[in-house]
C-alpha cells in the first residue's frame, strides 16, 4: 500500500477512535465491547449487517473501532431488497459514505420476484439467507445485527398479539445459534435507539430513513405507536424487562428437555440428509415435541425459519397416528415405517 494511502487511513482511524472519548459514545462502546467479548473470541472474524439506518450505522462505527483496537477482521454487508425504486441508489450511497471511513461494505442484491403479502416477514427471511450465505463463503460464522432494546419490546408485543408461546415471547436475546453453528449476535440489545441515533449523527452525519417505519399498513409500525401510547399511561420498562427475563429462565428449562429428546430419540444420517425419530420422540410433553420437531425441520431443510406453529402442531398429530401417508412440511418429506418416522429434504 502506498505511503499516502497509509497516512490517509491513519487519519480516518484516529477520527473514528477519537469519538470514543465522548462519554455518551464511550458508554455504548464499552457495553457493546463487553457484550461481544462474552460471546466471541476477540480474533474471531465477524460479519456485520448494515441497512443504512441509524442503528446499523452506529453498529458499523462501533465494530470498526472494536476491530481497530483488537486487530481483528470484519466484513460489512448491505442487502438491497429492490422492493423500492430508490433502494439501489440508497444502497450505493450508504456504501459510498462508509467507504470514506475505511469501511468497505458489500451490497447483496435480492433477485427475482417479490412478495405481495407478508412482505416484511418474507423480506426478513431472504435478507438473513443472503447474509448467512455470504458469511459462510468467507468462513464467517458470526453475524452482528443492530437490534436494540426498543426492537426487543416491539417483538415482545408483536408475538404477544400473535399468540406466541413461551419460546416466542422470550427468544429475542443476545444470540441465536442455528443448526449449522451459525450465530446471529445482537451486541446492542441493551441500548435504546436514541443512543444509536446520537452516534450515527455524530460520526457520519448521515442515515437512511426507511419509509415503512411510518406506514401503518405494517404491524410493527402500529405496535411502535401502541408502545408509545402505553408509555404515556405508565408502561414501566423495568417491570417489562423483568417479565422477559423470567420468561427466558423458564424457556431455558424447557430447552434442557428438548436437547435431551434430541440426544436420546433422534438419529441423523448425514449421507442421506435424514433424521430418524424413534417412537419415544413423541412421548415427551407437547412443547418439547414441538420444539424438537421445529429444530429437525430447520436442520434438514436448511431454512433459517421453521414452518408456522399451527402447521407443525397439525403435522405432529398426524405423525402420532399408527399409519399416515407421506407428506411434505417446511421443505421436507415426512413418512412413517412401523413405529419410526423418517424426515428427509424435499428435492
- What tens digit of pLDDT does each residue of 175-231 get? 877 767 899 999 999 999 999 999 999 999 977 766 666 666 778 889 988 888 888
Question: Bridge-partner residues for 344, per DSSP?
Answer: 274, 333
Confidence of residue 273 (pLDDT cuts 50, 70, 90): confident
The grid cell for 301 is 431443510
In the chain, % of residues over pLDDT 70 = 96
**pLDDT at position 5:** 82
Mean pLDDT taken over the chain: 89
The answer to whether residue 2 scores a pLDDT higher than 60 is no
**pLDDT at position 293:** 94
Considering only CA atoms, which of 187, 192, 241, 249 is closest in space to residue 38?
Answer: 187
Considering only CA atoms, which of 133, 57, 141, 69 is closest in space to residue 95?
Answer: 57
Give the 3-state secondary structure of the chain.
CCHHHHHHHHHHHHHHHHHHHCHHHHHHHHHHHHHHHHHCCCCCCEEEEECCCHHHHHHHHHHHHHHHHHCCCEEEEEEECCCCCCHHHHHHHHHHHHHCCCCCEEEEECCCCCCCCCHHHHHHHHHHHHHHHHHHHCCCCEEECCCCHHHHHHHHHHHHHCCCCHHHHHCCCCEEECCCCCEEECCCCCCCHHHHHHHHHHHCCCCCCCHHHHCCCCHHHHHHHHHHHHHHCCCCHHHHHHHHHHHHHHHHHHHHHHHHHHHHHEEEECCCCEEEECHHHHHCCHHHHHHHHHHHHHHHHCCCCCCCHHHHHHHHHHHCCCCCCCEEECCEEEEEECCEEEEEECC
**pLDDT at position 95:** 95
Confidence of residue 271 (pLDDT cuts 50, 70, 90): confident
CA distances to 103, 124, 279, 300, 317 from 320, in Å: 53, 33, 9, 20, 5
**pLDDT at position 168:** 84
**pLDDT at position 259:** 93
- Give the residue carrying C-alpha cell 401502541: 226
- Give 77 or 304, the one with higher predicted confidence: 77
Give me the half-sphere count of Cα atoms (radius 13 Å) on the Cβ side of residue 329.
Answer: 27
- Which range has the worst mean pLDDT, 107-116, 288-297, 313-322? 107-116
**pLDDT at position 287:** 92
Q: Classify residue 163 as left (phi > 0), alpha (psi -120 to 50) or beta.
A: left
**pLDDT at position 213:** 60
- What tens digit of pLDDT does each residue of 20-57 get? 999 999 999 999 999 999 888 888 899 999 999 999 99
- Give the residue carrying C-alpha cell 460520526: 203
**pLDDT at position 42:** 81
- Which range has the worst mean pLDDT, 72-86, 126-140, 204-218, 312-326? 204-218
Confidence of residue 1 (pLDDT cuts 50, 70, 90): low
**pLDDT at position 304:** 64
Confidence of residue 63 (pLDDT cuts 50, 70, 90): very high
- Give 14 or 239, the one with higher predicted confidence: 14
**Average pLDDT score over residue span 249-264:** 93
- What tens digit of pLDDT does each residue of 102-155 get? 999 999 999 888 777 777 778 888 899 999 999 999 999 999 999 999 989 998
The answer to whether residue 173 scores a pLDDT higher than 80 is no
Amino acid at each position: 500500500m502506498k505511503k499516502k494511502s497509509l497516512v490517509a487511513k491513519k487519519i480516518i482511524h484516529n477520527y473514528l477512535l477519537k469519538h470514543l472519548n465522548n462519554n455518551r459514545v464511550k458508554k455504548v462502546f464499552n457495553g457493546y465491547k463487553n457484550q461481544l467479548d462474552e460471546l466471541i473470541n476477540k480474533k474471531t472474524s465477524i460479519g456485520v449487517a448494515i441497512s443504512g439506518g441509524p442503528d446499523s450505522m452506529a453498529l458499523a462505527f462501533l465494530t470498526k473501532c472494536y476491530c481497530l483496537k483488537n486487530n481483528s477482521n470484519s466484513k460489512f454487508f448491505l442487502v438491497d431488497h429492490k422492493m423500492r425504486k430508490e433502494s439501489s441508489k440508497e444502497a450505493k450511497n450508504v456504501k459510498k459514505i462508509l467507504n470514506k471511513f475505511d469501511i468497505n461494505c458489500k451490497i447483496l442484491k435480492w433477485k427475482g420476484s417479490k412478495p405481495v403479502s407478508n412482505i416484511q416477514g418474507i423480506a426478513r427471511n431472504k435478507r438473513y439467507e443472503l447474509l448467512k450465505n455470504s458469511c459462510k463463503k468467507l468462513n464467517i460464522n458470526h453475524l452482528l445485527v443492530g437490534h436494540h432494546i426498543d426492537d426487543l419490546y416491539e417483538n415482545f408485543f408483536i408475538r404477544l398479539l400473535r399468540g406466541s408461546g413461551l419460546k416466542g415471547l422470550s427468544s429475542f436475546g443476545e444470540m441465536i445459534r442455528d443448526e449449522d453453528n451459525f450465530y446471529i449476535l445482537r451486541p446492542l440489545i441493551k441500548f435504546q435507539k436514541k443512543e444509536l441515533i446520537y452516534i450515527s449523527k455524530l460520526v457520519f452525519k448521515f442515515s437512511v430513513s426507511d419509509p415503512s417505519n411510518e406506514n401503518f399498513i405494517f404491524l410493527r409500525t402500529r405496535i411502535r405507536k401502541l408502545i408509545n401510547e402505553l408509555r404515556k399511561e405508565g408502561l414501566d420498562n423495568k417491570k417489562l424487562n423483568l417479565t422477559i427475563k423470567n420468561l427466558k429462565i423458564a424457556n431455558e428449562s424447557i430447552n434442557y428437555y428438548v436437547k435431551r429428546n434430541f440426544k436420546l430419540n433422534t438419529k441423523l444420517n448425514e449421507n442421506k440428509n435424514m433424521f430418524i425419530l424413534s417412537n419415544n420422540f413423541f412421548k415427551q410433553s407437547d412443547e418439547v415435541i414441538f420444539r424438537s420437531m421445529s429444530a429437525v425441520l430447520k436442520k434438514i431443510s436448511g431454512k433459517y425459519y421453521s414452518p408456522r406453529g399451527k402447521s407443525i402442531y397439525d403435522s405432529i398429530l398426524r405423525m402420532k397416528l399408527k399409519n399416515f401417508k407421506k407428506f411434505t412440511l417446511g421443505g421436507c418429506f415426512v413418512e412413517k415405517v412401523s413405529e419410526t418416522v423418517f424426515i428427509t429434504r424435499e428435492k
